[in-house]
Amino acid sequence: MKKLNINIITISDSRTAKTDKSGDILINLIKKSGHAVKKKVIVPDNIYEIRSSVSNFILDKNIDVIITNGGTGITGRDGTPEAIMPLLDKEIDGFGELFRSLSYEKIKTSSLQSRSLAGVANSTFIFVLPGSPDACITAWEEIIQHQLNSDTKPCNLVMLIPRLKE
C-alpha cells in the first residue's frame, strides 16, 4: 500500500488541542491505516480563515490529502463547505451522497443536515467531514480508508494521483 501524507484541519470556535476528540480520532485512524499525519491545526469557524488554511495546505506539494472536520451544519457559523467549494478544481459528488446514506443508518433523517463533501484542489484530495467523533469514524472506516488504500479494487483514489496534474 502506498503511504500518503495527510493534514487534518478541525474547524471550531470552541475546541482546543486538549478537547479536539474528532481530530485525535482521525489521527489514530489514519496512522492505523499506514498513512502519515503531517500536521493538525484548529481553525475558527470563519470562511476566510478556513479557506486560508486549506489554501496553504494545497500549495504544499508533499501533502496528498486534507481532511477537515466541523462546520458542515446549517447554523449561522457553519461555513466549511462555502469555504472549500471555491477552491475545488473538481467535486467528488458521490462522497457526500454515500456519507449521508451511511449516516442515515445511524441517525436517520438527521443525516440530511450534513453538508459533507469531497473534491480535488491542486492535485490534493480534500474531504470535508462533520465535527462529531462518530461522523469522522464513519467517514474514515466506511469510505475514506478504502479509497486511500492503493490495494482497493477495482479502483481507488490513490491510483489517480499521478493523473491529477494532467
pLDDT tens, residue by residue, 61-93: 999 999 999 999 999 899 999 999 999 999 999
State the residue range of the domain holding 70.
5-163
What is the mean pLDDT for each group of 10 consecutive residues in the chain (166 residues)? Answer: 97 95 98 98 97 98 98 92 98 97 93 94 98 97 98 96 89
Quote the pLDDT of residue 104: 94
The pTM assigned to this predicted structure is: 0.97
Instruction: Count the domains in the chain.
Output: 1
Nearest Cα neighbor of 75 from 11, 4, 16 is 11
Residue whose C-alpha is closest to residue 127's, from 45, 30, 33, 59: 30
Residue 56 is part of a domain; what is its CATH number? Answer: 3.40.980.10
Burial of residue 98, with CB atoms counted within 10 A of its CB: 0-12 exposed, 13-18 middle, 19 or more buried: middle
The residues pairing with 7 across neighbouring beta strands, listed in sequence order, are 39, 66
